[in-house]
Structure 1
């Protein structure tokens, strides 16, 4: 007698509580991936878009402002707690990120309905399922660097006063030049003025210094220098630097600076307020670009 055995498979849902590892036999979290991770990437140009379950990293490169709408949060299958979106704006226009329905965005403790992602900026938003204090958290934002300002900074030397080192012109003394490679600054000239003190006035010892950049000349249109002095020696001298002028001469940029010693005026025994060491001058050049 032939017997027919029929094995029926019952469809059931089985839940496991375990740690899963990919490319590792020792996972240390619920899911451990020992390798690269890939998720959906999309570049958009439309002026309106609703993010969905297939989106992860979205880049906007359109020719007008755009509005990105987050999916509405509900319960069960529409409970998106932990869902993360990464948004990069590489266009020249704003991206307005908005929540759906009564949902909100949480930047700090005040829920808002929209957040502007300006050109060049990046934002990450994650759902927190909090319907009272903000349904979506802006967990990370990066603003673009200013595109209307060019900045250059350097540190040069302030040479000793005439009481120790004689003044010079035409770059006849090269001992106090600064920098390396093409980023080099010469001190073309140094003119010292000694302290003066009468019953009517007191003048601090000072120097007029002309620094010349040896690289390509700067565009000095709308260029604004900021100067600060630093004491790089063991002497307690205190100085102040004032900007006098900037000009391009024979294809080189020259900055004229007046430096004065302000902690002492007059004669103290054999000290006539002339400094004997070299110090530091910090130069920051900022040019407004239109």
Structure 2
């Protein structure tokens, strides 16, 4: 086999992997990952830390149930968004009486939570009990966290 044919063969093999799409339960995937069926994600329940200094760190899971206790405001801390660009969390306060307060690890004053379609952010985010913000979706853009409720 000539050298040019070997190079052409290698190029074809690598281009198939470079532009490949994976389908689960489908023979014609239309996206990089195309799932025809159900998707399950990791679900966790976390109890809160009493203060910002002892905040419970959220660094695992996708659907997170926050369980603040003892008629207080318990603190939870999300990763620095620059460490986890593109990460998505579904976070829910599961209590009826206590507020869950979210902050960002490595908070330096510049990291913020932004509501969708807003340029005004805050350093912390409260998830009150029994309110319309009981469940929110948080998305890291690599600089801040944007939330949807």
Residue ranges of structure 2 left out of the alignment (5+ in a row):
1-13, 50-54
The yes-or-no answer on 1:97 pairing with 2:102 is yes
Question: Does the CA contact (< 8 Å) of 2:101 and 2:126 recur in 1?
Answer: yes
Question: Does the CA contact (< 8 Å) of 2:47 and 2:56 recur in 1?
Answer: no
Aligned position for 1:58: 64
Q: Could you tell me how far apart the structure 2 residues matched to 1:105 and 1:60 are?
A: 18
Shift of 1:83: 0.2
Task: From the two aligned structures, give the one with the greater strand fraction.
Answer: 1
Shift of 1:62: 3.5
Of residues 72, 76, 79, the one that matches 1:68 is: 76
Would you say how many aligned residue pairs link Structure 1 and Structure 2? 118
Aligned position for 2:90: 86
Indicate the RMSD between aligned Cα atoms, in angstroms: 1.7
Q: Could you tell me how far apart the structure 2 residues matched to 1:60 and 1:69 are?
A: 11
Shift of 1:17: 2.1
Residue ranges of structure 1 left out of the alignment (5+ in a row):
1-13, 142-290
Superposed structure 1 runs of 4+ greater than 4 Å apart: none
Question: Does the CA contact (< 8 Å) of 2:81 and 2:145 recur in 1?
Answer: no
Task: From the two aligned structures, give the one with the greater helix fraction.
Answer: 2
Q: Could you tell me how far apart the structure 1 residues matched to 2:99 and 2:89 are?
A: 17
Report matched runs for 1:1-290 at 5 Å.
Answer: 16-47=18-49, 48-52=55-59, 54-64=60-70, 65-74=73-82, 78=83, 80-91=84-95, 92-100=97-105, 101-102=107-108, 103-107=111-115, 108-120=118-130, 121-130=134-143, 135-138=144-147, 140-141=148-149
TM-score by length of 1: 0.38
Q: Could you tell me how far apart the structure 1 residues matched to 2:122 and 2:69 are?
A: 26
Question: Does the CA contact (< 8 Å) of 2:63 and 2:90 recur in 1?
Answer: yes
